[in-house]
Amino acid sequence: MIKLFNNRKDFDYFRNSLTTQSIGLVPTMGNLHKGHISLLEKAIEENDVAIVTIYVNPKQFGPNEDFDKYPRTLDDDIAKISAVALLLDKKKEIVVYAPNTDEGIYPEGFSTNISMGPMTQKLEGAVRPTHFDGVTTVVYRLFTITKAHQAYFGQKDVQQCLIIKKMVHDLEIPIKINIMPIIRNSEGLALSSRNQYLSESERVEALVLPHTLQKIEKLIRTKQDYKTFVYEAKANDKKWDYLEILDSKNLEMPTDKTQEVVIVAAYRMSSARLLDNILVTIASTGK
Amino acid sequence: MIKLFNNRKDFDYFRNSLTTQSIGLVPTMGNLHKGHISLLEKAIEENDVAIVTIYVNPKQFGPNEDFDKYPRTLDDDIAKISAVALLLDKKKEIVVYAPNTDEGIYPEGFSTNISMGPMTQKLEGAVRPTHFDGVTTVVYRLFTITKAHQAYFGQKDVQQCLIIKKMVHDLEIPIKINIMPIIRNSEGLALSSRNQYLSESERVEALVLPHTLQKIEKLIRTKQDYKTFVYEAKANDKKWDYLEILDSKNLEMPTDKTQEVVIVAAYRMSSARLLDNILVTIASTGK
C-alpha cells in the first residue's frame, strides 16, 4: 500500500510523524516510466520511506514550451507506484506527494529565484534560458518540504544533475544526491515522458541520437579521431541543438586532468526535443 | 569576554558545541556604530548567545561602488563589542565571526544567486540593480552557517528588511526576523557607516533628509496635503534619488487597506548616498 497526499497540510502532518526513519526522495513531474521506477526502487532499497513527488512545475517551462500539454496521468502513476509497493518489505513505506495546487509547493506570494550561475546558461540553458532556475527553485522547495536525507535523479538529465549537486554544495543543504543510470527502451532510446509526443516514424528516426552517441563512444574508447565524426554529424544534420564531448564533472571542455567525459546531445525533432548522454572513462594517460 | 573566530572550521567547531542554547544573529559589515550596538544589545537580551558577524560582502557592491574603500575597522569593532560584553549576565555569551577570507562565507567555487524578484528592482534596487541579490545570498549563507534562531536588522534599511523577511517566508527558513528602530545622532541624522564619507559641510546639508521626512510625517499625521510638498521637494532638489510614501508592508503604493506607510528616501550627496525612512500609522478610516 502507498500513502497519497495532495495538500501541504496533510503531507506536513504525516512528515512530522517521521522522526527516526531515513527518507529518500524521488522528485518527478509524473507520467512515470521505467526510468522513474528505477529511481523509486533504489530509494526504497536505501531508505525506510521513499517519497515520490508528482508536480508539473510551471517555473521550469519557458513561455512557448509544453507546460499545458505536458502529460498528467496521476491515476496511472499511482497504479505503477502501487505495483512497486506490492513487493515491499513490511517495514518500508512509499508515500506520494502530488499537490493539487501550486501552493502545495510554493508559499503564497512566492517570488524567490535560486540560480546557479553560468552553468545554467550553456547546453540546455542556451535553448531554455530560465529552465534551470525553475528546476533549482522547485528542487530546493522539495528538499525543504520533504526534509529527505537522500534524493534520486536520472543521469539522462546530466546537466540538471550537476546543477543540483552544485546547489547542494553551495548552500550546504544536508541531503545526499544519487544519480542513477539512463534507462532505455529495447531499441536504445532513452526513456522520457516526451517520447510520447513522437510519431511512429519519428521514433525510428530518433534512434540516430543513441546510435550517434554510441559511435562516438566507440571512437573515444578505441582512441580514434572522434572530432571529425562529430563535426560531420552536426554539419550534415541540423536537428542537433548540441552534440558535445565535455568533462563530466563540470561540463567544461576536457583537459589533461579529465577522468571521465560525457558525450551529451539534444536532438530537435518536429514534435519533441530529445536528450541523451553517455559517460566514458578516460584512461589515465590523458586524452 | 567575547569569543572571536576568523575561519569557518573553528567557528563550526564552536557552533556545534552549542546544543540547547538560543542563538541571536547580528549580521554586519563591521565599522560598528550605535545602530549596530542596539541590535547586539537586543540579541543578547533575547538569547543565550549573540553572534555578531563582520564581513564586507563583495556580492552586494556594484562594480563602481565603494567596496574597496568601505571602512574596515576590526580592532575598533572588537573593542566596542567587548564594552557590551563587560555588562553581560555570566550565563550569556557574545561571539564574533569575522572570517578573514571569502571562503569563510562562500564554499569554494560558489556560484549561487538567491533573488527575491520584482521587489529588489525598485527604490534602492533601481539604483543598485544587483545589490539585493548580494544581500539575500550572503544573509542566507549567514543563516546557514550560524544556525541562529533569531536575527536582528535595522529599520534604516527598510527595503532590505522586507526582502529578507520575504526570503524567510518563501524558503521557510526556521529563523525569526526582528527589525529594530533607526538610531540617530543628536541632530537627527540616521547613523550609517557611510556618514563618515561626508565632509563637515555635507553633514549639515545632509540634515535636509531627516527634516524633510519629519515634515512629511507631520503633514500625514495632521491629514494635510503632503503630495504637493513631496512634488516640490523633489522638483527643487535633484539630490533625491527617491522620496516616496509607500505601504510599509510591501513598498507598494498605499491603498484603502494600508495600515502603516513608510516615508522612504535616498539622498545623493557628492561623497555618499544616504538612506532614511519614517513609519507612520494610518488611522483606520483609510488614507
Domain that holds residue B213: 193-281
Q: Examine the pLDDT at B284 and tell me if it is beyond 60.
A: no
Q: Which residue of B lies nearest to A168 if distances are taken between CA atoms? A: B112
Model ipTM?
0.89
Shared-domain flag, residues A101 and A205 = no
> Residue B205 corresponds to which cell in the numbers above?
546639508
Shared-domain flag, residues A176 and A203 = no
CA distance, residue A209 to nearest chain B CA (Å): 32
Q: Examine the pLDDT at A117 and tell me if it is beyond 70.
A: yes
Examine the fold and report which residue of A180, A211, A237 is the final residue of a domain before the chain moves on. A180
**Helix or strand or coil: residue B15?**
helix
Clarify whether A36 is annotated catalytic: yes
Mean pLDDT of chain A: 95
Instruction: For chain A, report the end-to-end CA distance as a whole number of angstroms.
Output: 51
Q: Is A167 on the interface with B (CB under 8 A)?
A: yes
Shared-domain flag, residues B256 and B165 = no
- Interatomic CA distance for residues B212 and A171, integer angstroms: 43
Shared-domain flag, residues A200 and A164 = no
Q: Which amino acid is at B191?
A: L
Dihedral of CA atoms A226, A231, A234, A240 in degrees, nearest 10, equals 60
Q: Which residues contact A20 (CB under 8 A, 6 or more apart)?
A: none
Q: Which residue of B lies nearest to A167 if distances are taken between CA atoms? A: B112
Q: Hey, of B115, B142, B165, which one would you mutate to test binding to chain A, going by the most A CBs within 10 A of its CB?
A: B115
Model pLDDT for residues A24-55, shown as the tens digit of each residue: 999 999 999 999 999 999 999 999 999 999 99
The confidence score (pLDDT) of residue B269 equals 94
The confidence score (pLDDT) of residue B165 equals 98
Q: Which residues contact B147 (CB under 8 A, 6 or more apart)?
A: B15, B23
Model pLDDT for residues B97-106, shown as the tens digit of each residue: 999 999 999 9
**Eight-state DSSP code of residue B18:** -
Q: Percent of chain B beyond pLDDT 90?
A: 95
CB atoms within 10 A of CB B114: 25
Q: B137-170 b/e with 16+ CB inside 10 Å = b?
A: bbbbbbbebbebbbbbbbbbbbbbbbbbebbbbb
Shared-domain flag, residues A17 and A60 = yes
Does the annotation list A104 as a binding residue? no
- Interatomic CA distance for residues A79 and A163, integer angstroms: 31
Q: Which helix (H) or strand (E) holds B209?
A: helix B208-221
The neighbouring-strand residues paired with A25 are A51, A151
Question: Which residues from A are below 8 Å from B141, CB to CB?
Answer: 171
Does the annotation list B183 as a binding residue? yes
Question: Which residues from B are below 8 Å from A107, CB to CB?
Answer: 169-170, 172
CA distance, residue A137 to nearest chain B CA (Å): 9
Residue B287 forms part of a structural domain = no
The confidence score (pLDDT) of residue A88 equals 87
Residue A188 forms part of a structural domain = no
Nearest in space to B150 (alpha carbons), one of B171, B167, B174, B180: B174
Three-point CA angle A188, A192, A198, nearest 5°: 85
The confidence score (pLDDT) of residue A284 equals 57
Shared-domain flag, residues A10 and A148 = yes
Whichever domain contains B266, its CATH number is: 3.30.1300.10
Report yes or no: B60 and B33 within 8 Å, Cβ to Cβ.
Answer: no
R_g of chain A computed on alpha carbons: 20
Residue B68 forms part of a structural domain = yes
Report yes or no: A216 and A226 within 8 Å, Cβ to Cβ.
Answer: yes
Mean pLDDT of chain B: 95
